[in-house]
Copies of this chain bind each other. A is one copy, B any other.
């Protein structure tokens, strides 16, 4: 595999440097579908809560790649069992796992039955710059990369590296989101975990990443970091309020589209996401957050009052209020909406989120190698994780709705 004359590096606050050794990796980074990730916020609407959470999926993707690169090189029991082709394939899977994302991705998937994983696969497999780069090296490479991303690669250990309970993706985003939101919650000891990961064989000779017992506190810390980030950042109601408006705007746009296609003459990039048939990957490429916000600017000066209001709210941060979802609260809000002559279809949304710190499930468990060599599930080795998995699941249901006095969203 062709290496470059000199390793290329890019600065990164989480990993110090991102190291790029293979020309193939460098070419993928410079493919236009990957460069597009600079125009998609990593944390979607969270910059509405944490003003500095302005980082993109571009730098996150580089970070995941870097962790994978370190894993396949630095974990000796992994490094020695993988071929160079496998190593490159799994590094590419880390790098490219998010290329299918749309703008404000999580909200977007509520809107349009859009599935970013489907598009990740299509972009890698179909007629794209990325596909072209991969194929120049090996015709099977696109397929092999996609298998890892879809967690169906026959060599299961490759799937685990990119996506499992303790994987390169999650490890990068917790640290990165913590850095850019300026919260300390997502911090854990990445070095310790990397140093204590090993490949072991379970029953039936299945290869499995496990953590040595001496790394268990690092893993406990990571589990808690994940839990805290969910409630402090990912589920923050102010961010979900922004996403709600986004979702409601698309609901409105779909309704308009049914009746008045001319409305969209200067909003062509939106149409593929409103019509029945699925967007092509070229259409997908065209809709990034720059384009979306620009469309909002146009909509905010168009005729439909509901779309106009919702689009302005996104641009100028006139967010919805929120309140616990109880029958009384809902009744009250419905009355208010009626009084303000606002259609609840567009101006009320309920949402419920829940997570606990750690739920092991088939194929996605964390395993620990005890001092005597026995391999057990994490909850058997850690009293604190055991307590957590048996505890109640935290859950929060809320209603989003507009109010004259606009919510201020400070935290």
Chain A, 43-68, contact with B by CB distance < 8 Å: what is the 0/1 string? 00001001110111011001000000
Known: A290-B289, A391-B390. Contact between A228 and B232, CB under 8 A? no
Can you name the residue of chain B whose Cβ is closest to the Cβ of A10? B51
Q: Which residues of B contact A62 (CB under 8 A)?
A: 51
CA distance A54 to B39 in the complex (A): 10
Name the interface residues of A15-62: CB closer than 8 Å to any CB of B.
Answer: 16-18, 20, 26, 30, 32, 35-36, 38-39, 47, 50-52, 54-56, 58-59, 62
Known: A30-B317, A54-B55, A383-B391. Contact between A221 and B221, CB under 8 A? no
CA distance A218 to B290 in the complex (A): 35
Which of B189, B291, B394, B410 contacts A183 (CB under 8 A)? B189
Q: Which residues of B contact A185 (CB under 8 A)?
A: 189, 217, 221
Name the interface residues of A357-411: CB closer than 8 Å to any CB of B.
Answer: 357, 383-384, 386-388, 390-394, 406, 408, 410-411
CA distance A13 to B52 in the complex (A): 8
Chain A, 229-251, contact with B by CB distance < 8 Å: what is the 0/1 string? 00110000000000000000000
Can you name the residue of chain B whose Cβ is closest to the Cβ of A27? B408
13 pairs of residues in contact across A and B, judged by CB atoms under 8 Å: A9-B195, A10-B51, A11-B52, A11-B181, A30-B406, A35-B317, A36-B315, A184-B189, A220-B224, A221-B224, A221-B228, A383-B391, A384-B394
Q: Output the least CB separation between A2 and chain B (Å).
A: 15
Q: Establish whether residues A16 and B55, one from each chain, have CB atoms under 8 Å apart when the complex forms.
A: no
Q: Establish whether residues A9 and B410, one from each chain, have CB atoms under 8 Å apart when the complex forms.
A: yes
Chain A, 174-209, contact with B by CB distance < 8 Å: what is the 0/1 string? 000001111111011101000100000000000000
Q: Establish whether residues A17 and B410, one from each chain, have CB atoms under 8 Å apart when the complex forms.
A: no
**Band of interface residues on A:** 35 or more
Q: Which residues of B contact A183 (CB under 8 A)?
A: 11, 189
Q: Output the least CB separation between A284 and chain B (Å).
A: 13
Q: Which residues of B contact A187 (CB under 8 A)?
A: 184, 187
Q: Which residues of B contact A259 (CB under 8 A)?
A: none
Which of B56, B286, B294, B410 contacts A54 (CB under 8 A)? B56
Q: Which residues of B contact A293 (CB under 8 A)?
A: 39, 288, 290-291
Q: Establish whether residues A51 and B58, one from each chain, have CB atoms under 8 Å apart when the complex forms.
A: yes
Q: Establish whether residues B184 and A221, one from each chain, have CB atoms under 8 Å apart when the complex forms.
A: yes
CA distance A226 to B221 in the complex (A): 11
CA distance A294 to B297 in the complex (A): 12
Which of B11, B220, B387 contacts A392 (CB under 8 A)? B387
A12 at interface (Cβ–Cβ under 8 A)?
Answer: yes
A316 at interface (Cβ–Cβ under 8 A)?
Answer: yes
CA distance A393 to B383 in the complex (A): 7
Q: Which residues of B contact A18 (CB under 8 A)?
A: 51
Q: Establish whether residues A316 and B32, one from each chain, have CB atoms under 8 Å apart when the complex forms.
A: yes
Q: Output the least CB separation between A372 and chain B (Å).
A: 10
Q: Output the least CB separation between A224 and chain B (Å).
A: 5
CA distance A410 to B52 in the complex (A): 25
Name the interface residues of A277-300: CB closer than 8 Å to any CB of B.
Answer: 286, 288-291, 293-294, 297
CA distance A261 to B39 in the complex (A): 29
Q: Establish whether residues A388 and B384, one from each chain, have CB atoms under 8 Å apart when the complex forms.
A: yes
Q: Establish whether residues A297 and B289, one from each chain, have CB atoms under 8 Å apart when the complex forms.
A: no
Name the interface residues of A132-174: CB closer than 8 Å to any CB of B.
Answer: none
A131 at interface (Cβ–Cβ under 8 A)?
Answer: no
A275 at interface (Cβ–Cβ under 8 A)?
Answer: no
CA distance A29 to B325 in the complex (A): 30
Q: Which residues of B contact A386 (CB under 8 A)?
A: 391-392
A227 at interface (Cβ–Cβ under 8 A)?
Answer: yes
Q: Establish whether residues B35 and A316, one from each chain, have CB atoms under 8 Å apart when the complex forms.
A: yes
A356 at interface (Cβ–Cβ under 8 A)?
Answer: yes
Q: Which residues of B contact A55 (CB under 8 A)?
A: 52, 54
Q: Which residues of B contact A231 (CB under 8 A)?
A: 217
Q: Establish whether residues A11 and B50, one from each chain, have CB atoms under 8 Å apart when the complex forms.
A: yes
